[in-house]
Amino acid sequence: MNIKADFPSLVEEIDYGTPQSKAQKQVTLNVDGRSITVPEGTSIMRAAMEGGVEIPKLCATDMLDSFGSCRVCLVEIEGRGGTPASCTTPVGEGMIVRTQTERLDAIRRGVMELYVSDHPTGWNEKAGTGASEFDAVAKSIGLTENRYGIEGRNHVKPEGGVAPGHGSLAVDYIARDESNPYFTYDASQCIVCSRCVRACEEVQGTFALTIEGRGFESRVSAGMHEAFIDSECVSCGACVQACPTDALREKAVLAKGLPERSAVTTCAYCGVGCSFKAEVKGDEVIRMMPYKEGKANHGHSCVKGRFAYGYATHKDRILSPMIREKVTDPWREVSWEEAIAHTAKEFRRIQYQYGRTAIGGITSSRCTNEETYLVQKMVRQGFRNNNVDTCARVCHSPTGYGLGQTYGTSAGTQDFDSVDYTDVAVIIGANPASAHPVFASRLKKRLRQGAKLVVLDPRRTEMVKSAHIEADYHLPLKPGTNVAVLTALAHVIVTEGLFNEAFIRERCDWTEFQDWASFVALPENSPETVGKLSGVDPELIRGAARLYATGGNGAIYYGLGVTEHSQGSTTVMAIANLAMATGNIGRPGVGVNPLRGQNNVQGSCDMGSFPHELPGYRHISGEAVRDIYESLWGVKLDDEPGLRIPNMLDAAVDGSFKGIYIQGEDILQSDPDTKHVAAGLAAMECVVVHDLFLNETANYAHVFLPGSTFLEKDGTFTNAERRINMVRKVLEPKARYADWEATQELARAIGLDWNYQHPSQIMDEIAMTTPSFAGVSFELLDRVGSVQWPCNEKAPLGTPIMHIDGFVRGKGKFIRTEYVATDERTGPRFPLLLTTGRILSQYNVGAQTRRTDNSMWHSEDRLEIHPHDAENRGLRDGDWVRLTSRSGETTLRALITDRVSPGVVYTTFHHPDTQANVITTDFSDWATNCPEYKVTAVQVGASNGPSEWQRDYDEQARNSRRIAKLEAAE
């Protein structure tokens, strides 16, 4: 296939120069003879562009507020003196504007001549791309001469050829900053327009850049005149995107040249689901540019989506299918045909020998909706059982259950734009600054506008305090006490009469509310009692509850710190109760918003990945639902739910479960109690791993099928706001098949009559069988960009905000949330509580990000420990420590910090050598089996190196990854 025919050129976006005005009132003006009508408050620059008249500009871009420093965008306005800047001058009714006159030409040329006199353009051709906005403006105003010469004091490098200033005056030159792995900063090309500084402040909210000095010495500085890598910079790329010259430029573009074609696609990292233009040259991605039309990110990005795509071409990628008899054998590379035939034969044999339910499959939250749908379809139609589960089991399954019970849908209630209307944000068990950075930037922007913030987290995260952000209330609760603290918040709301009676009477069941209210009002749920067991000052609980209930639009955002507990589902219900009790549901600015960890965790749940549910969260026991699929697929479906991942592993250890197809998930590294997972996998006879890399699970695999990256396939991802975004192929699959094609080959080999030519046909089948997706098609998504489900005849363009006129389930349901302490308790042997999380530059088990330069920021997992606990144990910062729990032990290096409270330790789980899940227990959520990652009783002590398990594991992993070299011909 010739992809060039599909994407003939670069997707170009119009830069209107200043942000859109949200005013209702319209104003009509005349620009260069054209009549243009725009909302009041629009700048002349933007109005002109909307009317098709482009005014030259350098310091203006529509991602940023106007600034008025470059003096290139000047215009003349009839009846006004002078030449005002069009970016800072708002339109007026009847205004007559001229953008091109002799006077304006002369001024613009004079300004550009001054810029050029201190700029390498035209002197050192290698300085930049020659295709920057600056170059374009110089060209458009027809700059032919430079009266000021290039001999004066300047910032240009004094070597090679006739440099401006002949070297002697070029004292202001500073060397290019190459410290960031992804972009360079070359001060000699900088025109000090401040776009980068403003992007870092207004868009990203990090404030890592400034203009240092004044006058001719003014320069962009990262931190306190530091190298970018050492500064506060988080490498989100907003400054690079904003730079109108080549002063800040992607290294890939400088090294490989400008991209030739691009397609709009969706990031494959977290659940924010940012839209990007994947820009390609030849068969290589040159850069990922955030797409302004993207409804989740509005043109912003983070270090992962923007830069960390190098894993797609990493040498570790396996491009050939492989098989082996025993996991102790080296791998043997085989053809796709052989691998597929072998797998089908093995699965058939196992089912014949051990029974129909002896095999199953795991769908991936990293793959597309279409791919996920096919895996569960293959299990139900082909394996003829319901043994399908997904990695959402270990993250957000309690969200599905809790919100399903209380509201009637297993998803968040809002879109991300809702945050612009929030007055009080409550973040529970989430650190969006690290795990959902683009959303964090949007939230921070709202907080800088004056919204209030409550954070419930054992750690003092970046959201609690960072530049220009400070939580009004931080409740540093002990891990495992979420339910108690949330119920205490409800106690305050009920006993102080802060609930919204009108809302509750109209939308919820009043009797259920009364029952719940009498429960939360019990003295054992008071902040004073809960304070003792959670370690939170009762006054903080009271203050936070009052703020949420009375502070205007209250929105709750939560993450895995809520779900990954033995009472995960209860916590989700407690959150749902709070929102209902305060009437914070069903309009912009409020709601209950789970922050999804992975790009398509929402979608994989939607697509029927759970053993008890068909697509659209319809229980497998429902006859009407089974009928739909039985008649379409031509088989009888099992009406009993199948096995969940932990049950599959238990059954494997017991000997009744023998084969598994795992698409894009590394259960050995990401699931709890690594030793148990390893034992389960080791007991199986055919483990098929379908992945980009030989991941940790593949150490126990018999068949390896090479996967495809998101750049190599078409499809859709569904983000945390239920938004179905397009994924578009920009490269051919490196290993021949996109993942959906590989699954289809396997399904055919086990006898299914599948014949999908394109993922759009799979989406058509999903739409045909699933009411909440009824209106979705690739054609619609191409036309409107994205939609949020439900999308059907009632909501043809999707549903940004749910439960507007009433709850999906009818009446909102209040459920009692009794606090039951986890069985995982501290004691003399294990006196500390371990909780886990993420860091900005790394993603999940790190399979992708560890294979990029992102490791420059985080090359190992560290154990955060409070100075008090460290001192008691004689530990210094950077020491190797042994971390022991009832399940196992591992070693890592300590990081001493008061971000964590005494008694609490914290680590990330991005690196396989850390083996953090050797430590975690097999306790899990009572309703959904979601593992209790966030609470483990541990002991920490000095150590001098890796644990025995880590050494054994390393040895086993090394052995297992061997690929047999083909014998050389004699």
DSSP one-letter code for 565: S
Determine which residue in the list 123, 148, 207, 421 makes contact with other proteins, applying CB under 8 A: 207
Minimum distance from residue 148 beta carbon to other proteins (Å) = 21
Which stretch, 302-310, 333-341, 463-471, 851-859, contacts other proteins (CB under 8 A)? 463-471
* Cα–Cα distance, 830 to 206 (Å, whole number): 38
The residue from 138, 222, 344, 471 that contacts other proteins (CB under 8 A) is: 222
Rounded distance, CA 289 to CA 237, Å?
A: 9
**C-alpha to C-alpha distance for 387 and 372, rounded to whole angstroms:** 14
> Should residue 867 be labelled a site residue for other proteins when binding is judged by CB under 8 A?
no
Decide whether 212 or 284 has the Cβ nearer to other proteins. Answer: 212
Least distance to other proteins, CB of residue 559, Å: 24
Spatial separation of the C-alpha atoms in residues 159 and 126, rounded to whole Å: 13
Strand order in the sheet with 34-39: 34-39, 26-31, 96-98, 76-77
How would you classify the pairing of strands 703-706 and 686-691?
parallel
Shortest distance (Å) from residue 491 CB to other proteins: 32
By the rule CB under 8 A, 69 interacts with other proteins: no
- Is 896 a binding residue for other proteins by CB under 8 A? The answer is no
Of 39-47, 204-212, 724-732, 859-867, which segment contacts other proteins by CB under 8 A? 204-212
Nearest distance in Å: CB 825, other proteins: 36
Cβ at position 217, least distance to other proteins in Å? 8
Cα separation, 950 vs 889, in Å, equals 9
Nearer to other proteins, 194 or 901 (CB): 194
Closest approach of other proteins to the CB of residue 460, in Å: 13
Q: Does 221 bind other proteins (CB under 8 A)?
A: yes
Residues 58 and 244: beta-carbon distance below 8 Å? yes
**Nearest distance from residue 201's CB to other proteins, in Å?**
9
Nearer to other proteins, 207 or 756 (CB): 207
* Of the candidate residues 39, 223, 538, 902, the single one contacting other proteins (CB under 8 A): 223
- Kindly indicate which of the ranges 130-138, 210-218, 471-479, 889-897 contains the residues binding other proteins, using the contact rule CB under 8 A: 210-218
Sign of CA dihedral 668, 674, 677, 678: positive
Instruction: Assess 232 for contact with other proteins (CB under 8 A).
Output: yes
- Name the segment binding other proteins (CB under 8 A); options: 205-213, 431-439, 495-503, 560-568: 205-213
On whether the CB atoms of residues 31 and 48 are closer than 8 A, the answer is yes
In the complex, the smallest distance separating the C-beta of residue 871 from other proteins, rounded to whole angstroms, is 18
Contact 743, 664 (CB under 8 A): no
Q: Is 447 in the site for other proteins (CB under 8 A)?
A: no
790 upstream amide cis, omega within 30 of 0:
yes
* 3-state secondary structure labels for all residues of 57-88: CCCCCCCCCCCCCCCCCECEECCCCCCCECCC
Residue 169 binds to other proteins (criterion: CB under 8 A) = no
Tell me which stretch binds other proteins (CB under 8 A): 18-26, 125-133, 429-437, 461-469: 461-469
Query: Does 877 help bind other proteins (rule: CB under 8 A)?
Result: no
Q: How far is the CB of 455 from other proteins (least distance, A)?
A: 15
Give the residue, chosen from 465, 876, 886, 951, that forms a contact with other proteins under the rule CB under 8 A.
Answer: 465
Contact map string, positions 577 to 616, toward other proteins, x by CB under 8 A: ----------------------------------------
Q: Which stretch binds other proteins (CB under 8 A): 170-178, 224-232, 826-834, 953-961?
A: 224-232
Give the residue with the Cβ less far from other proteins, 65 or 212.
212
Judged by CB under 8 A, which of 23, 136, 174, 224 binds other proteins?
Answer: 224
Least CB distance to other proteins at residue 213 (A): 5
Give the count of residues interacting with other proteins (CB under 8 A).
22
3 state DSSP class of 849: helix
CB-side neighbour CA atoms (13 Å) of 793: 2
Residue 394 tokens read as: 């270990």
Nearest in space to 457 (alpha carbons), one of 441, 435, 439, 490:
435
Tell whether residue 212 is a contact of other proteins (CB under 8 A): yes
Least distance to other proteins, CB of residue 191, Å? 18
Instruction: Give least dist CB 259 to other proteins, A.
Output: 31
Instruction: Give the interface segment with other proteins, choosing from 145-153, 211-219, 374-382, 716-724 (CB under 8 A).
Output: 211-219
- Residue 468 contacts other proteins per CB under 8 A: yes
Q: Is 291 exposed, middle or buried (0-12, 13-18, 19+ CB in 10 A)?
A: buried
Q: Which stretch binds other proteins (CB under 8 A): 214-222, 410-418, 904-912, 923-931?
A: 214-222
Q: If DSSP states are collapsed to H, E and C, what string results for 471-537?
A: CCEEECCCCCCHHHHHHHHHHHHHHCCCCCHHHHHHHECHHHHHHHHHHHCCHHHCHHHHHHHHCCC
Q: Toward other proteins, which CB reaches closer, 209 or 367?
A: 209
The CB-of-938 to other proteins minimum distance in angstroms stands at 30
DSSP helix/strand/coil, 918: helix
Contact range with other proteins by CB under 8 A, out of 44-52, 213-221, 322-330, 598-606: 213-221
- Asked if 209 interacts with other proteins (CB under 8 A), we say yes
- 83, 206, 363, 577: which one contacts other proteins (CB under 8 A)? 206
Query: Does the footprint of other proteins cover residue 643 (CB under 8 A)?
Result: no
Q: Is 210 in the site for other proteins (CB under 8 A)?
A: yes
Q: With binding defined as CB under 8 A, does residue 225 bind other proteins?
A: yes
**Binds other proteins by CB under 8 A, chosen from 156, 208, 742, 791:** 208
Asked if 822 touches other proteins (CB under 8 A), the answer is: no
The nearer residue to other proteins, 220 or 749, going by C-beta atoms, is 220
**Smallest gap, in angstroms, from Cβ of residue 452 to other proteins?**
15
Q: Are 756 and 386 in contact (CB under 8 A)?
A: no
Strands 832-837 and 723-727: unpaired
Question: Is residue 470 part of the contact set for other proteins (CB under 8 A)?
Answer: yes
- As a whole number of angstroms, the distance between CA 240 and CA 233 comes to 12
User: Minimum distance between the CB of residue 180 and other proteins, rounded to whole angstroms?
Assistant: 15
Residue 272 gets which letter from DSSP? Answer: T
* Phi, then psi, of 545 in degrees rounded to 5: -65, -45
C-alpha to C-alpha distance for 535 and 530, rounded to whole angstroms = 8
Nearest Cα residue to 49 out of 26, 83, 20, 9: 20
Which residue among 214, 315, 636, 965 contacts other proteins (CB under 8 A)?
A: 214
Closest to 906 measured CA to CA, from 949, 869, 945, 942: 869
**Helices 369-377 and 739-749 sit at what angle, rounded to 10 degrees?**
10
Name which of 56 and 205 has its Cβ closer to other proteins.
205
Smallest separation, CB 218 to other proteins (Å): 9
Beta carbons of 264 and 151 less than 8 angstroms apart? no
CA distance linking residue 867 with residue 899, whole number of Å: 10
Smaller CB separation from other proteins, 356 or 465: 465
Q: What is the DSSP string of 702-730?
A: SEEEE---GGG--EEEE-TTSEEEEE---
Please compute Rg for the chain using Cα positions.
29
Question: Token digits for 870?
Answer: 């460290």
Give 190 or 504: the residue with its C-beta nearer to other proteins. Answer: 190
Residue 816 Cα distances to 427, 496, 576, 579, 879, angstroms: 22, 19, 11, 14, 45
Listed in sequence order, the DSSP H helices in 394-500 are 397-406, 432-435, 437-448, 482-495
List interacting residues with other proteins (CB under 8 A): 206-214, 221-225, 231-232, 465-470
